[in-house]
Amino acid sequence: MPRKSKTVAPKELGIATRSIHAGEDRLRYADSITTPIVQTSTFAFKDSKEIEAYTKHGKARFEYGRYGNPTEQVAARRLAALVGAEDCVVFGSGMSAITTTILALVKSGDHIIITDDAYKKTLEFCSSYIHRFGVDCTIVPFGHYEELEAAIRPNTRFIFSESPTNPYLNIFDLTRLRKIAKRHNVLTLIDATFSTPLNQRPLEWGVDLELHSCTKYLAGHNDILAGAVMGRKELIEEIRGLHKAVGGVIDPHCCYLLLRGLKTFPLRMKVHNETAMKTARFLEAHPCVDRVYYPGLESHPHYETAKAQMTGFGGVVSFDIKGNLAAAKRFLDHLKLCYIAPSLGGVETLITHPAIVSYYGQTRKERYALGITDTLIRLAVGIEDPDDIIADLDQALRKSHPAKRTARKK
């Protein structure tokens, strides 16, 4: 259906205000303060005249759940307002947003480019599936801007990357990306899940489409799956068209939970940023830790780029524990507060050990070629008291290295 924006929170308002109010009509069903969950798969027409008003004359209304739903529409408007986009489509998962967007932008004979430390399933889609549609994909090493530019062909449709990336929190230089893309007239897509609209604003840096797994910080409670793509109206319309056919829609109840999560997103994100920074510094000084990867630390290779294009550095900290695979497993087994689980961005602190979780099934040699060591730990800090998170990490680290005590590195 045609989408008339009735946002009550225009761009000039602050991000906290937009997170609470953007996208909502001022007056709602039964004078409810919250956005109602319109839990329906289809919408009734009063009579044939009304059908024609919709089909022939483009009356703005809903028809069928896969083509839109009032709760979903509010979520889409709010997300667009948060990132400063003209339009947005919301999906049933981040991967649905990514795959539908990619498919909507290409046709047989096109070429796409993706950087090599994109999210594992995004890479898999681009390297193992997209060629079935006659689309060629080049994977270029992250941060190799000359190689990236050299990979562009006359039929290249877009460059896809992430910033920060998983698990090393590499930062893509968005100024360089914009310049390269402009020289060759190709679109740019950034998955900004790890940074969120509070910390980094890719569209303002000239990126064409911004994607998010809203499963993470935007919804924020480890209780739903959702995804979104935001950008210029004409691009989003193309994606929306395919979305209606592919059908990876988000359920209205999930949309409600997303809207509810968004209301506290800036508050939560500030805590994630602060706690991750404090935890990264703690880990950097810990005798049982070899190396810490956090873009807010001066030791991170992309610290300068991060400082230039981000206002906060996010809630994920990766680190190499000293020792071997067994030490990393001992560390996991002694955790009492932090949960061992994939994902990030929720209120609970989650820890994953990529070697035995996401890269399980690959040989050690294959994993090391991808930079995934036996001792790498990815920590997604929640919003518990930072001292409690740190105390849990400290006791588990010490128990993973029985010979080492709490003495700090000099």
Ligand X SMILES: Cc1ncc(COP(=O)(O)O)c(C=O)c1O
Residues of the shown chain interacting with ligand X in the complex, contacts defined by CB under 6 A: 93-95, 119, 162, 166, 191, 193-194, 213, 215, 225, 227
Q: Is the peptide bond before 36 cis (omega within 30 degrees of 0)?
A: no
Q: Is there a contact between 96 and 248 (Cβ–Cβ < 8 Å)?
A: yes
CA angle, residues 194, 312, 141, in degrees to nearest 5: 45
Q: Which is nearer to ligand X, 100 or 400 (CB)?
A: 100
Question: In angstroms, what is the minimal distance from the CB of 346 to ligand X?
Answer: 12
Place of tokens 């990336």: 165
Q: Which is nearer to ligand X, 1 or 357 (CB)?
A: 357
Q: Which is nearer to ligand X, 54 or 158 (CB)?
A: 158
Question: In angstroms, what is the minimal distance from the CB of 284 to ligand X?
Answer: 24
Tokens (6 digits) for 406: 């709490």
Question: In angstroms, what is the minimal distance from the CB of 314 to ligand X?
Answer: 11
Cα gap 96→213, rounded to integer Å: 9
Q: Which is nearer to ligand X, 348 or 388 (CB)?
A: 348
Q: Which is nearer to ligand X, 61 or 121 (CB)?
A: 121
Cα gap 361→342, rounded to integer Å: 16
Cα 176 from chain centre: 21
Question: In angstroms, what is the minimal distance from the CB of 299 to ligand X?
Answer: 23
Cα gap 273→276, rounded to integer Å: 5
Q: Which is nearer to ligand X, 7 or 352 (CB)?
A: 352
Q: Which is nearer to ligand X, 7 or 166 (CB)?
A: 166
The residue among 195, 251, 189 whose CA lies nearest residue 223 is 251
Question: In angstroms, what is the minimal distance from the CB of 343 to ligand X?
Answer: 6
Place of tokens 């004979």: 109
Q: What is the DSSP string of 318-330?
A: EEEESS-HHHHHH
Q: Which residue is nearest to ligand X (CB)?
A: 94
Q: Is there a contact between 263 and 78 (Cβ–Cβ < 8 Å)?
A: no
Question: In angstroms, what is the minimal distance from the CB of 6 to ligand X?
Answer: 28
Place of tokens 């730990």: 377
Question: In angstroms, what is the minimal distance from the CB of 301 to ligand X?
Answer: 19
Whether the CA torsion 65, 68, 74, 75 is positive or negative: it is positive
